[in-house]
């Protein structure tokens, strides 16, 4: 009996030590180890269902979004659909000349319709977000009324630390302009939370549509998803700048809602900026942070 009590006491002590060791501050330290000696500026924001499970590292830095802003744009566009300013059932005419203007930019939509077409609005949104299409993105900017309208929308819903100034075709013509389209990691998480909690932000139809699009995102397989189980559900949007002539990556980003096996979730935004690391290393920073957060919340 004494031996059983001794074993039980030892088990309780080990369990208590294990639980104590899983604090949010320990997660912060593990992430800081991932970032140690990396030649990059990295903004991180993590938030769980429990408000105490919230941390940020460089969370207030203004960092370039790149294509992450296509999620923000889709939110603004769907808000206009719900207000009757845009019609979800409309098809938008795109001529060949417009497609040709984007011949130097990534556009699966242009590959599908090289000679132009009438493209349904839902398809434009889906291509813009899930496939990070640049033709679709700039069409959406035109439909909603421009970057100023999108910027104003986020200011009105309380997101202050964000700037959306340039369309894709303008931004990608000048390396420095990507820095004018910025967010903080904390503001990126704020937008994710506002969307996911959907307190009168979108109609149920628009909400369900965009959430499915985010879950079906085809980009960034080595970013947030990189080290997670293959069946993990992630609703996310990536953004990547490529490198300049000096080997500098302006942005390698991923923000998303990560679903856990117990049907809870956490918000994660990782913005890797001004990095001299190679592409694989930049993606691994995001993947490693996502896995650490996954393990923390799963336990």
Count other C-beta atoms under 10 Å from residue 169's C-beta: 16
Tell me if residue 30 is catalytic: no
Nearest by Cα to 63 from 246, 235, 281, 282: 282
Produce one character per residue of 101-133: b if its CB has 16 or more CB atoms within 10 Å, e if not. ebeebbbbbbeebeeebebebbbbbbbbbbbbb
The CA R_g of the chain, rounded to the nearest whole Å, is: 21
Q: Which of 56, 107, 128, 168 is catalytic?
A: 168
* Residue 115: DSSP 8-state: T
Separation between Cα atoms, residue 3 and residue 96, nearest integer Å: 82
* Residue 233: DSSP 8-state: -
Q: In 56-198, where does DSSP find H-type helix?
A: 69-82, 96-101, 108-112, 121-130, 134-144, 147-156, 168-171, 185-197
Angle at 164 (CA atoms; ends 161, 169), nearest 5 degrees:
155
| 3-state SS class at 114 | coil
* Residue 220: DSSP 8-state: -
Tell me if residue 168 is catalytic: yes
Separation between Cα atoms, residue 115 and residue 97, nearest integer Å: 8
Checking phi first, is residue 257 left (phi over 0); if not, alpha (psi -120 to 50) or beta? beta
Q: Tokens for 61? A: 């830095």
Q: What is the length of the chain?
A: 299
Separation between Cα atoms, residue 136 and residue 94, nearest integer Å: 10
Helix (H) or strand (E) holding 8: helix 2-20
> Do residues 22 and 144 touch, judged by C-beta distance below 8 A?
no
List residues with catalytic annotation.
67, 168
């Amino acid at each position: 009996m004494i031996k059983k009590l001794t074993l039980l006491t030892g088990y309780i002590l080990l369990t208590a030590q294990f639980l104590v060791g899983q604090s949010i501050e320990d997660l912060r330290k593990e992430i800081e180890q991932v970032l140690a000696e990396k030649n990059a500026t990295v903004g991180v924001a993590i938030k769980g269902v429990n408000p105490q499970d919230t941390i940020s590292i460089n969370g207030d830095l203004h960092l370039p979004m790149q294509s992450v802003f296509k999620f923000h744009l889709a939110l603004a566009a769907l808000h206009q659909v719900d207000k009757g300013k845009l019609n979800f059932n409309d098809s938008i005419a795109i001529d060949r000349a417009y497609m040709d203007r984007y011949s130097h930019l990534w556009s699966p939509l242009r590959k599908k319709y090289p000679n132009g077409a009438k493209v349904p609005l839902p398809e434009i949104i889906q291509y813009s977000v899930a496939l990070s299409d640049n033709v679709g993105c700039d069409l959406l900017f035109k439909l909603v009324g421009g970057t100023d309208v999108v910027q104003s929308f986020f200011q009105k819903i309380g997101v202050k630390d964000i700037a959306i100034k340039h369309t894709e075709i303008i931004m990608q013509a000048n390396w420095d302009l990507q820095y004018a389209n910025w967010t903080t990691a904390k503001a990126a998480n704020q937008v994710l939370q506002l969307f996911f909690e959907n307190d009168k932000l979108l109609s149920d139809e628009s909400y369900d549509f965009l959430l499915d699009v985010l879950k079906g995102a085809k980009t960034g397989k080595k970013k947030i998803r990189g080290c997670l189980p293959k069946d993990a559900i992630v609703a996310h949007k990536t953004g990547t700048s490529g490198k300049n002539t000096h080997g500098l990556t302006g942005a390698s980003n991923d923000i998303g809602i990560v679903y856990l096996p117990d049907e809870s979730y956490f918000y994660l935004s990782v913005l890797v900026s001004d990095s001299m690391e190679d592409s694989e290393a930049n993606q691994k920073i995001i993947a490693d942070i996502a896995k650490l957060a996954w393990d923390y919340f799963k336990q």
